[in-house]
Amino acid sequence: MSLLAAGAFALQQRQSFLERLLKLEEEADAEPPVSDGPPANFNFVFTRLVYQGPGGRFFRGHTWDTDFPKADRQFLMGVLRYTGIHGRRQEHVVRLQDPNLFQYPFLYAVEVGYSHFSDDEAARLREYLERGGFLVVDDFHGSREWANFEEQMRKVFPNRPIREVELSDPIFHCFFDIEEKRPVPGLQYLYSGRIFEQDGTAAHYRAIYDDDNRIMVMINYNVDLGDAWEWADLPEYPEAWTSYAYRLGVNYIVYSMTH
């Protein structure tokens, strides 16, 4: 009887925790946008890429807005505090066919395992990257999502390989010294106990390089920096992962602005 009671109590606690997280997400989504002036007034604008996908999670037709806008806002507060960059605090989004795309040299895209680029969009992204743009992809997991992402990137760069990024690469040392490539699990870890999602077994930091060996696309695979930013203020989410995610994200921004 005591075991049954303990099990029921644990289930009740888990349900209560999930309900609390849902409420926090709803509150974050309801927050009014920060009014921080037009992007042209700033040296840096953190810009999230809007893309369409065939169904996506829960068949919403899109997954680009996962963790949005709270992750973007909280990460930007850290960027401004750490670096002194004259950056915009307000979240910003852009589509590949937006005529102003080239005004935003840093793009962040999530859940790219569900992404789909038309031929025109792939050509537009190729032009953006070859003209000096920088893309960070994050929060996608497992072999199925990797296969889809790889297929989409072959449309963009048919002949450029995806490579593992060595720890000696400047991207890991341009602001903070990143001494190891760690996993950064999503919020699901708190109720599942799993570091990795789907059939993922290891964190990978990969990239597509240009002809001068500079990174154009930084790939966080089996990693969820966005959740670490979004839930930085949640006591249950481990500070070590949040700190690592902030430092890594800051390095990506500094690298994009200096390379």
Nearest one of 218, 219, 214, 229 to 259, comparing CA atoms: 214
The answer to the question of residue 6 being in a domain is no
Domain count, the chain: 1
CA distances from residue 153 to 121, 158, 243 in whole angstroms, order as listed: 11, 8, 30
Res 75 pLDDT > 60: yes
Q: Would 230 be classed as within a structural domain? A: yes
Is residue 125 in some structural domain? yes
Tell me which residue range forms the domain holding 248: 52-258
User: pLDDT value at position 206?
Assistant: 99
Tell me if 3 is assigned to some domain.
no
In a domain, 47, yes or no: no
Residue 170 above 90 pLDDT? yes
Whether 8 is covered by a domain: the verdict is no
Q: Mean pLDDT over residues 223-228, rounded?
A: 98
Beta-carbon contacts of 143 under 8 Å, excluding residues fewer than 6 positions away, are 198, 199, 200
* Residue 20 domain-assigned (yes or no): no
Q: How far, rounded to the nearest angstrom, does the alpha carbon of residue 19 sit from its chain's CA centroid? A: 24
Q: Is the pLDDT of residue 116 over 80?
A: yes
CATH number for the domain harbouring residue 142:
3.40.50.12140
Instruction: Decide if 34 is inside a domain.
Output: no
* Residue 13 pLDDT > 90: no
Indicate whether 6 pLDDT > 50: no
Please, what is the average pLDDT of the chain? 90
End-to-end CA distance of the chain: 64
5 pLDDT band, cuts 50/70/90, is very low
Mean pLDDT over residues 153-164, rounded? 99
pLDDT digits (tens, 9 = 90+) for 173-203: 999 999 999 999 999 999 899 999 999 999 9
Please say if the pLDDT value at position 60 is more than 90.
no
